Amino acid sequence: MAHEDRISRSMLDHLLHSHLHVLSEGRLPYDALKRDYCLRCMTGLERNQGWVVPAIKYLYDLLRHDSTNTFKDSKSDLISLLVNKHDVISALMQNLSTFQLDVWNKTDGHMTIDTLVDGRFTHEESIKIHLDLLSFLLKKGNLHLILKRSEELWDTLITNENASSFGRELGLNWFVTCAEDLHRN
């Protein structure tokens, strides 16, 4: 139901919040379901079409509300699985770059903070959702963003001629607050 295009943003938020509440009850079967939904969101991100922004937001919410999520070399750890097996960081970078170009093309370069990217989420919210998940993965996973990925993010948000002024501001703020999560190698 949440994948329906005609559902309003408020209804989508309510559906996903209710679903998250059910999955956060801490019972073992719910942990397996939560993992399954994280992987479904990751699949949506990897496909890079359709329901991407809500999938990234829901993945972030699922991971934030998982008290067992600490980075370990355990197959059951969601962050480890997403980073090592599904390369979530690379997928986020690719999606953000594609999304920026799509919004630029759809608006002929006249993007505003309130430009809707998918009929529900604004351009600003979409950038923020990408950056929030990236920050969370780096901090909670005790990871560093390698130089190549840092440069990709910088190019997408800051130096890209198709970047918006508010996207640049969000990007600069992200780099300032996450400076310790960057790695030179």
Give the residue among 81, 90, 167 at the shortest CA–CA distance from 128: 167
Question: What's the pLDDT at 124?
Answer: 93
Residue 39: give the domain boundaries.
Answer: 9-181
The answer to whether position 3 is within a domain reads: no
The answer to whether position 129 is within a domain reads: yes
Do you know the residue count of the chain?
185
CA 124 to centroid of chain Cα atoms: 13
Question: What's the pLDDT at 127?
Answer: 95
Give pLDDT tens digits along the chain (185 positions): 445 666 777 887 888 888 888 877 766 677 788 889 899 999 989 987 777 899 999 999 999 886 555 444 443 488 989 999 999 999 999 999 998 898 999 999 888 889 988 888 899 999 999 999 999 999 988 888 888 999 999 999 999 998 989 999 999 999 999 877 676 55
- Report the domain count for the chain: 1
The answer to whether position 175 is within a domain reads: yes
Question: What's the pLDDT at 60?
Answer: 93
The answer to whether position 59 is within a domain reads: yes
The answer to whether position 2 is within a domain reads: no
Supply 41's token pair: 């969101």
The answer to whether position 1 is within a domain reads: no
Q: Are 70 and 77 in contact (CB under 8 A)?
A: yes
The answer to whether position 4 is within a domain reads: no
Q: How many CA atoms lie within 13 A of 144 on its CB side?
A: 9
Burial string for 40-70 (b: 16+ CB within 10 Å, else e) reads: ebbebbbeeeebbbbbbbbbbbbbeebeebe
Supply 40's token pair: 């479904």
Q: What are phi and psi of 132, to 5 degrees?
A: -65, -45
